[in-house]
Structure 1
Amino acid sequence: MPSKTNAERGRNVRAQLLTAARELVGELGWSAVSTRILAERAGVRPGLVHYHFESLQALLRQAVLEEMRRMLDGTAALLDTTPNPTAGIEAMLSDLDRYTGADPASLLFIEAYLAATRDPRLHEEMRGLVIDFRNHLATSLARSGHPAPEAAATVVMAVFDGFLLHKGLDPELSAARIAPLLRQLTDTEPNGAHS
């Protein structure tokens, strides 16, 4: 069996570092992740962090943005596979039920939002991801004849974010409790015919 090339080894190390960064941001918090801790978790020498990334912050930023993009793409796919935006929004909300608000993925997002208040580059890139997703949602609502698709998409996304934050404080919250209200906000059929 041939040995790995330098490029393959480099890709593997980068992947290990990004995975370790995602895990550690959720476990320890953004500011508690050090080069040493990250390298130890990834199983590599600390010098490789700065060999593969311009800085620790650049590595953390990339790890978080990749995870956000993956989640938002998956959520957009839910929207695209349902018969109407209301059903898609309910499917997305139900998907959020698997997060507790205190699980590693939830904490990763919460930490990223906080870090974005101090990191202008992270802020801009996260803003772009959020705007793209909101526009996707608004376009879907507009196609269904919603009278205010942009405003509805903004409220839906705010509800999703708030739902995740509140679940960390109140694990009893569930999608079923807020789905009827979102249905009223997004349904364009008389008397909720989509329901």
Structure 2
Amino acid sequence: MTKAERTRETRERILAAACEVIAEVGFEKIRMWMVAKRAGVSTALLHYHFETREKLFTEAMTYSFAQTGTELDRDAGSVPASVILARILNSLLPTDPELRQDWRLWQELWVRALRDDSAQHLAIDLYGQLHTWVAEALQRGIDSGEFAPCDIDTTTTLLLALCDGFGIRLMLADSRVSLEAAKGAIWGVVADALGVPAKFPAL
């Protein structure tokens, strides 16, 4: 392994550890030594890569977001557009332990964004990337004839808002909202707008 590869591996290990710790204790309570311990590195090495908690938080959010994006890109060119869209929407809900961790990070970001300009800019940028993912999936389906034409920006904004709203209720373990009901309601909007079957596709 080259020096550059070792450096990249160390940074990724630190960022993965940071995601775990931030999700567990929250940004306000996190200490750099907690992340160093979880990552198996010295505090000095952690500070070498990330000078402040704020920088670590920002890069951890970006790292977590990128990991989800990488997963969504798998075999994207060989499956129906409805499945690609369903995978994206599924990833925007707390559907498994890893995505619940991502949701805790998002919630930390939302809180920070209310009083910190850099966090606000990061949140808006990440939402922009989410908007692009959903919009591109819609455009792919329209181009292939699988989806009926729609106002892509409006539909994308609505789907993101629905995922946020249902996601919050699911994270709160609200007994009036189940994961299957949430997915069904969101896909109902997709079905009406795009002219596809009302059942959420198998992933």
- Residue pair 2:159, 2:186 contacting (<8 A) in 1 also: no
Q: State whether structure 2 residue 159 is matched by structure 1 residue 156.
A: yes
The 5 Å alignment of 1:81-100 reads 82-85=79-82, 87-95=83-91, 96=93, 98-99=95-96
Residues 43 and 194 (structure 1 numbering): CA distance in 2 closer, same or farther, change over 3 Å? closer
What is the count of residue pairs matched by the alignment? Answer: 188
- What secondary structure does 1:118 align onto? coil
Pick 1 or 2: higher relative contact order, CA cutoff 8 A, min separation 6: 1
Q: Give how far 1:66 is off.
A: 1.3
Q: Percent identity?
A: 23
Give the aligned CA root-mean-square deviation in angstroms.
Answer: 3.2
Query: Structure 1 CA distance, aligned partners of 2:99 and 2:6?
Result: 34
TM-score by length of 2: 0.73
- What secondary structure does 2:10 align onto? helix
- Residue pair 2:94, 2:171 contacting (<8 A) in 1 also: no
Partner of 1:173: 178
- What secondary structure does 1:54 align onto? coil
Q: Give how far 1:181 is off.
A: 2.7
Which consecutive unaligned segments of at least 5 residues does structure 2 have?
none
Partner of 1:186: 193
Q: Look up the equivalent residue of 1:183 and give its one-letter code.
A: V
- What secondary structure does 1:11 align onto? helix
- Residue pair 1:17, 1:49 contacting (<8 A) in 2 also: yes
Q: Give how far 1:9 is off.
A: 4.4
TM-score by length of 1: 0.76
Which deviates the most, 94-103 or 149-158? 94-103
- Residue pair 1:21, 1:38 contacting (<8 A) in 2 also: yes
- Residue pair 2:14, 2:46 contacting (<8 A) in 1 also: yes
Q: State whether structure 2 residue 106 is matched by structure 1 residue 109.
A: yes
- What secondary structure does 2:16 align onto? helix
Query: Structure 1 CA distance, aligned partners of 2:193 and 2:137?
Result: 10
The 5 Å alignment of 1:17-56 reads 17-56=14-53
Q: 1:68 aligns with which of 60, 65, 68?
A: 65
* Bigger Rg over Cα: 1
